[in-house]
Structure 1
C-alpha cells in the first residue's frame, strides 16, 4: 500500500498538523486494521516510508525479555474485488 504523501503535506499546511503526527496516526490505524486480519501475528509494527509513502507491516518474534529477535514483512496482500 502506498500513502499519498503530497496529500498529507497539503493537510499539514491546511490544518497545521505536524506531518509526523499525521503519519503516526495512519500507522496506528493500519496496525489496528492488521490486528483484525486473519492470521495476524501477535507482535507487529507498521512503518510508512517517509520518502516513498510505502506502508509495510513488520511482524516480530520476541524473546522472553521482550526483545525483538526476528522481524519480517507480513504486509497483507490485497485481493482483487469480486465482480458483482
Structure 2
C-alpha cells in the first residue's frame, strides 16, 4: 500500500489519518487472505512520520497482536488493527 494517504496534509489528528489508512490497508489484506483461501492469526501495524521533515519529531511505532484464532474476516482484523493503533499512539 502506498503511504500517500498518511502523508497528506490534513487538519485531522495524526491518529485519525493513520486510522483511515490502516483500516483501508487491513480491508485489502483480509480480501487477499480470502482470495487465497488463507487465514492468519497475527497482525502487525507500523507507522512512520515523514523522515524527510527533520524539523518534526520522528516517530516509528510498530506493534503486533495475536488473534484468539486464525481468521480471514475483515472485521476481526480491523478491530485488532484499531486497538493496536490506539495502543501505539
TM-score of the aligned structures, taking structure 2 as reference length: 0.34
Say which structure is richer in helix.
Answer: 2
